[in-house]
Structure 1
Amino acid sequence: MTRWLFLVLITLPITAGAIVIRDDVDDAAYRIDAAAFPALADMPGEGHGALIAPQWVVTAAHAVPMEGMGSEIVINGKAYLVERVFLHPGYKRMPDALGQEALASGNASKIHAFLAHSDDIALIKLALPVADVASLRLYRGSEELARVATLVGKGATGNGAIGQNRNDPHRTMLRRADNAITGGNDRYLWYRFDRGPHGVPLEGVLGSGDSGGPLMIRDSDGWELVGLGSWITAVPEHALEAGFYGQVVHNVRISRYVEWIDSVMASQKDAGVGLEAEVGSRVRSSHDMDVQVGK
């Protein structure tokens, strides 16, 4: 596995995700029924995405199933075959050498600099539409900052005092948590894991197992997707460990990419399966996954 976007000290690189909770709130308060967010998409093994149209899932590019087309994504308890994957043309695969250097030196600053300039987003077209789940709306505004957002995930857990449980499996039960969005730029939104009175009642952050998991806000019409879990900057005393108070989680900023998302889905609708002339050239990725690069 070469998914370095959520770098943790334990042995080899793993992906971002799961819910790490407050140490002064019982875990039962964070657990929710598996059917509470039916638009949550489970990637094979670990990793998440969100259903945004009957035949479309959006996720972090680094969380795309390694098997690519022909793999299965589970939505609301049902498995759907992947027909095609579209990586954003600005996505950059992080060289393994950067991860190895960080593990050797204990300094992840070069990784952070690399990730900050990558467009970590992908679209997955399903072979068949999802008929029994309402799609998440995309947030199309620019006022995400200071909003309290909700994240969901099924991966490993832990709490802010002791960090993520290192031995937890990366696919467990569904949890939700809230956090206040504290910053953003053109690619990412971020929030900080705060303790005690400085945090919201169900404060929590991503851990290991659910890269690409949705970050959502709610209005009178329901949930809107504002971000996708991507990578973290950890606190100095736990430079390569996840889940401690003070860490900052970076989420792909959906509002930046709505035009790209719309154009890929519209081109597929107009051109059927012959998308090469409309969207871009077909390439073969390093893990032999059939990918098309969008505009």
Structure 2
Amino acid sequence: MMGWRHIICVLCVCVSVCFCESSLSGKVHSPLYPKAYPSDLFVQWKLEVPKGYRIQLTFIHFDVEPSNNCCNDSVMVLYGQKILGKYCGQDNSANGQDPGKEPILSPGNHLQLVFQTDGSNAGSQQHLGFSAFYQAVDVDECSSPNPEGGSGPLCSQICLNTIGSYFCDCNHGYQLQPDQRTCLSAIDCDEPKLLPNGGFRFLSDSQNHSVIQYHCNEPYYAFPGAQNISYTCAADGKRTVNDHNDIIIPPCLPVCGNPSGIPGSRQRVLGGKNAPAGTFPWQVLLSVTGRGGAIVIGEQWIMTAANNLVSGSGVTPKESVRLYVGHNDVKERINNPPLEIASIHIHPQYQGNNNFDNDIALIKLARPLTFNSEVQPLCLPPEGAKYERSGWVSGFGYTEEMSISNELRYIVLPLVDQTECRNSFERLKQQKIEVMPFTDNMFCAGLTEGGADTCSGDTGSAFVLKDRESDRYWVAGIVSWGIQCGEKGRYGVYTRVSRYVEWINKIMRDN
């Protein structure tokens, strides 16, 4: 019999509840009270008060058959699925299982009572049950912890509690906004200036000033010094930036050489695997009479090989040059309009024909690019740049099957010693193979055994190295020329960009 009673005790919590009309106070008592309550009962009450209040429940009289863990007869108080108390016994009984005279306070505006009895309330030891009183108690929202979800305090400045609710107010010199919780300065300060490639949001500091915090669209843009800028409209109407009387907001500068990731394994442009999305966001698809490559180095600047833009008839008109950025798939990329070109700048000492010394050119765009995960600039060579180990090259050139690639591919190629590079061209000359001049403005990269190389259609793309100190990628070379593709003992030749940093900066500064 005790086992059966224990099962009934557990199951009672799951029974449905009857809803009662909301009121500010009321009484509740066991059936037949003040007479003895019947046996085999299961009665529930759902107490509710208006929102903005809590329920305070007090037992006036309590007399319920005592038992171990109150599993014969009991009164249970619940808030939702949470049990606030389970009681039996008599007022001030020694077993300590009665509710006593201390009020029970609900967390919210509702409460549930469950009264259950077994079949043993008979004979001379009959129990009378209970009588209780409940009333609505105001919730002081202003003293409550901040709401969940990170929305901040109920009021940005002043919170005033009222019966069943609250309202917000502002300090002198501030106005309550339409959201009825935020305060902004009522002083006639200028509207916040828009920040290109960034934005702002309203804050409120500990001194109750109206504060606007500027930020850049990271990780593609950053302030010099990588700090957010706070702009305060003080009560006297004067503006300050980071506690200084300096209202100049720094620009959001592009972050260079910081792609989402660069593959580390050896793959081949000449028949290699596709480059993962976001790995070479500086890659430009260039189209003149054929396909070539170029490099994003600034918001309005593209770098490429001069031989992409110069032919026997001179410099290609800008209207005949097409530049595409974005997706790694050529078909997706050319679905977007080509970038509008403002001007083309060929290095003044580039000769062309059979001499690709100074093979470098800059293209200025008519409008700035907006950088994102698919379009980002590559850094220029750092001061004292060291050419060592291996670098990355990407492109849309020919594959090993000599078919043009419609997916961006990449390769990791070792740098070749300058002496070995010169010797390789001398060996070709001895075989009566025509070779263009190799100068100190160039370097070689590739495998002695061949099989991995850049090829036609990759010209103008970047040879990329990584700076160990800044952890950023920089343009070490530009794919320039070579003798066939991927042949044993023959290397690709690249323009050494570190020798042209001064010229690059001058062109960008003067234009």
With the shorter chain as reference, the TM-score category is: 0.5 to 0.7
Question: Within the alignment, does 1:58 sit opposite 2:303 as a pair?
Answer: yes
Aligned 8 A contact 1:43 1:64 in 2? no
Alignment of 1:1-295 (within 5 A): 19-20=269-270, 27=272, 30-33=273-276, 35-44=278-287, 45-64=290-309, 67-70=316-319, 71-76=321-326, 77=333, 78=336, 79-94=338-353, 111=354, 114-115=355-356, 118-132=357-371, 133-158=375-400, 165-166=401-402, 168-169=403-404, 171-184=405-418, 186-195=440-449, 204-219=452-467, 220-232=470-482, 234=483, 241-268=484-511
CA distance in 2, matches of 1:43, 1:19: 17
Conserved? CA contact 2:340–2:367, under 8 Å: yes
1:31 shift after superposition: 1.7
**Superposition deviation, residue 208 in structure 1:** 1.2
Work out whether residues 34 and 173 of structure 1, in 8 Å CA contact, stay in contact via their aligned partners in 2: no
Letter in 2 for 1:122: A
From the superposition, tell whether residues 145 and 136 of structure 1 become closer, same or farther in structure 2 (CA, over 3 Å). closer
Q: Work out the CA distance in 2 between the residues paired with 1:204 and 1:140.
A: 28
Q: Give the letter for the 2:453 counterpart.
A: V
What is the aligned-residue identity percentage? 27
Using structure 1 for the length normalisation, give the TM-score.
Answer: 0.63
Give the direction of change, closer, same or farther, for the CA distance of 1:119–1:67 in structure 2 (3 Å limit): closer
Q: 1:85 to 1:244 in 2, by over 3 A?
A: same
Higher helix share: 1
**Contact (CA 8 Å) 1:228, 1:252: kept in 2 or not?**
yes
Q: CA deviation at 1:93?
A: 2.1
Greater RCO (CA < 8 Å, at least 6 residues apart): 1
Contact 1:68–1:84, Cα closer than 8 Å, also in 2: no
In 1, distance between residues paired with 2:316 and 2:285? 14
Query: Alpha-carbon deviations, 1:219-261, whole Å to 9, x = none?
Result: 34321110000011x4xxxxxx322132111100010000000
Contact 2:414 2:447 in 1 (8 A): no
Gap change, CA 1:141 and 1:250, over 3 Å in 2: farther
| SS of corresponding position for 2:477 | strand
Q: Quote how far apart the aligned CAs of 1:180 are.
A: 1.3
Distance 1:183 1:140 in 2: 21
User: Quick check: 1:149–1:179 contact (8 Å CA) kept in 2?
Assistant: yes
For the residues of structure 1 that align with 2:292 and 2:393, how far apart are their CA atoms? 13
Give the counterpart letter for 2:387 in structure 1.
Answer: L
* Structure 2: distance between partners of 1:176 and 1:191: 14
Q: Give the Å deviation of 1:37.
A: 1.4
Q: Is the contact made by 1:216 and 1:227 (CA closer than 8 Å) also made in structure 2?
A: yes
- Report the count of equivalent residues: 203
Q: Which structure 2 segments of 5+ residues have no match?
A: 1-267, 327-332, 419-438
AA aligned opposite 1:178: V
2-side partners of 1:89 and 1:210: how far apart? 23
1: CA distance, partners of 2:459 / 2:367 = 24
- Contact 1:68-1:82 at 8 Å conserved across structures: no
CA contact (8 A) 1:48 1:210 kept: yes
Deviation string 1:86-114 (CA, Å, 9 cap, x unpaired) is 000110120xxxxxxxxxxxxxxxx4xx3
Is the Cα–Cα contact under 8 Å of residues 385 and 498 in structure 2 kept in the other structure? Answer: no
**Could you tell me how far 1:40 is from its partner in structure 2?**
0.8
Larger deviation, residues 252-261 vs 142-151: 142-151
Q: Deviation at 1:39?
A: 1.2
Code of the aligned partner of 2:443: L
1:266 shift after superposition: 0.2
Instruction: Give 3-state SS (helix, strand or coil) of 2:453's partner.
Output: strand
Q: Equivalent residue of 1:119, what SS?
A: coil
Instruction: State the superposition RMSD in angstroms.
Output: 2.3
Q: Which runs of 5+ in 1 are unaligned?
A: 1-17, 22-26, 95-110, 159-164, 235-240, 269-295
Q: CA deviation at 1:142?
A: 4.7
